[in-house]
Every structure is written in C-alpha cells, then in structure tokens.
Amino acid sequence: MLNSAVELKNFAFRYDKGNVLNDINLSIVKGEYVSIIGPNGSGKSTLLKCLNRIVKGGEGTISIMGKPLSSYSQKELAKSVAYVPQHLSSAFSYTVDEFVTMGRYPYLKAFSPMTSEDQQAVEKAVQLTGLSDLRLRPLNQLSGGERQKTYLAAALAQEPDILLLDEPTTHLDPKFQKDVQKTVCDVSRNLGITVLHVTHDLNHILTWSEKIVALKAGHVCYYGLSKDVMTADHLKNVFETDFHLLADPVEGHPIIVPEAH
Ligand code: ADP
Ligand code: MG
C-alpha cells in the first residue's frame, strides 16, 4: 500500500529450529501509533529486530516506507528506522550529549564536523525527552528512567520515519512511564513518526495508541483499533488468563485488570 510505513507479506522467520514468526501479514499506516502485545516468547522482539535488520533473513517480504527492506543500505535504513532495544547497556561512560549525538551517525560524513542540522537534531531530541539538565552526566551514573530517556533521545536524533520501541517503560516508576509515553505519543502526533511499541502495559495502550497488533506463538492473532482489540475475550485468548474491563471511577474510561485468583 502506498501509505504504508511498514508492510509484511507472508513473512516467516526462524533462528535455528522452528519458526518464531509465521505467516505475518501486516500493513502499518504512516504516522500511526501501533502497540504490539503478546505473551513472553510470542515473537514481539524478533519482529522488531527483523524490521531493523538486527536479525537478517526470513521468508516473504518486508517493505519499509514503500521500498523493499533488502534494497536499503545500512545507513539509509538507519535514517528511516530507529530502535530502542529491550535491554539497555548500563556500562557506557559516554555523556548523555555524546550518546545522543551518536544517533546522528547515519548522517555524518567521515572526517567532517557535525553540521548545524546535526546539532539542531540533537538539541531537539534532548529537549523533547527533558534531558537538558543531564547533558554532561555519564550514562553509567543515570537512573534506569533517565537512561531510558537517553536511548529514546538518541533514537529521535536519528530523525527516523519509524520508531521501534521494545518495552521502554517496563522498569520505570509511574511518573517516568508517563513521561516516556507522552514523549512518544507527542512525536508520533506532532512529527508524524510511525511508532511500533512493544509493551505489556495494557492500560497505557488505551490512552495513547491508535492500533494494536496482538501476537501469539508467532502469529498475528488480532490487528485493529485499540478499542476493538482490547476486549476481555480477546485478551484471554492472547494471554490465556482472565481479565476484567472496568470503568475508571473518575474519568469513566476503561481500565483493564487481570483476574487475580
Ligand atoms: P518476545 O519478545 O515476545 O518475548 P522473542 O521474540 O524474544 O519473544 O522470542 C521469541 C522466541 O524466539 C522465543 O522462543 C525465544 O526463545 C526465541 N529466540 C529469541 N532470540 C533468539 C535467538 N537469538 N536465538 C534462538 N532463539 C531465540
Ligand atoms: Mg521481547
């Protein structure tokens, strides 16, 4: 489709034995915010890694911004797709500024200084993520939430068409979760960036994201508007546990609660 940011046709992927992703057919519209849910081991991280060519191969086709993934050079792909991985390294002694600047690597030319465009992109990413006061702090002296924001800032400095996020809020306290969620939602809305966001935070999805892909055992189980996918029956089918959908007592919007007993 012409307006697809990401399109997979009959895509399947395996590491060594047994398919991890099977018969994936998806068309993600440019500028949309799509959450990816599914049980542990259902292939969510692998799907993102295939889109970013961190893992290579597979059957079927993947198109990124209307072009076959196989036709992209590595630099060209990095200008279009940015990725925040599930497991962040805490070992780096780079400062926040240095790390975010590395997000510009697909644009930099060998032996040439940064251009004013590079500097502006770094500045904007630092502002958007609220990291101005931490610019000179080394990564290994940051809290988990601050480090998460730094990785997000480096991804934004890439000025991508598509942002892939693998559980960026899982280990954050509620305020950091909301901060990161809001930043991602703002960049999707205001900058037209297509977001694919792997998350287990079902309640945040209803607030922030437009569509949901539900994966189960490497298959797309559901794909559609968040409010349509997010029913107690669908969630039970995906996660094999019971859920209640309650009305928020203050604002009335639905809240999803896993059955405790
Ligand atoms: P999720 O992100 O949904 O938890 P993953 O995509 O990480 O799932 O993993 C899907 C399946 O692929 C799991 O069974 C996992 O054990 C397997 N897997 C993941 N990474 C590798 C790898 N590098 N080599 C072999 N198998 C892997
Ligand atoms: Mg994962």
pLDDT greater than 90 at residue 259? no
Of the pLDDT bands very low, low, confident and very high (cuts 50, 70, 90), residue 122 is very high
Ligand that comes closest to the CA of residue 49 = 1
CB-count burial class (<10 Å; 0-12, 13-18, 19+) for 68 = exposed
pLDDT greater than 70 at residue 24? yes
pLDDT, the chain, mean:
93
Residue nearest atom 25 of ligand 1, based on CA coordinates? 15
Within 8 A by CB and 6+ apart from 234, the residues are 214, 221, 222
Instruction: Flag the least confident range among 35-39, 104-108, 245-249.
Output: 245-249
Query: Can you tell me the mean pLDDT for 166-195?
Result: 90
Domain borders along the chain are: 4-258
Per cent of the chain over pLDDT 70 is 100
Task: Give Cα 203 to chain centroid, integer Å.
Answer: 17
DSSP letters for 94-142: -BHHHHHHHTTTTT--TT-PPPHHHHHHHHHHHHHTT-GGGTTSBGGGS
Testing ligand 1's pocket by substitution, the residue of 15, 54, 84, 87 carrying the most ligand atoms inside 8 A of its CB is 15
Atom of ligand 1 minimally distant from the CA of 86:
2
Query: Residue 110 has what pLDDT?
Result: 78
Query: Residue 1 has what pLDDT?
Result: 67
How does pLDDT run across 196-246, given as a tens digit for each residue? 999 999 988 888 899 999 999 999 999 999 989 999 999 999 999 999 988
How does pLDDT run across 36-91, given as a tens digit for each residue? 999 999 999 999 999 999 999 999 999 999 999 999 999 999 999 999 998 877 77
Q: Is the CB of 42 under 6 A from ligand 1?
A: yes
pTM of the model: 0.95
Query: Residue 170 has what pLDDT?
Result: 81
CATH no., domain 4-258: 3.40.50.300
Higher pLDDT: 60 or 143? It is 60
Q: Is the CB of 20 under 6 A from ligand 1?
A: yes
CA–CA separation, 190 vs 21, rounded Å?
32
Residue nearest atom 11 of ligand 1, based on CA coordinates? 41
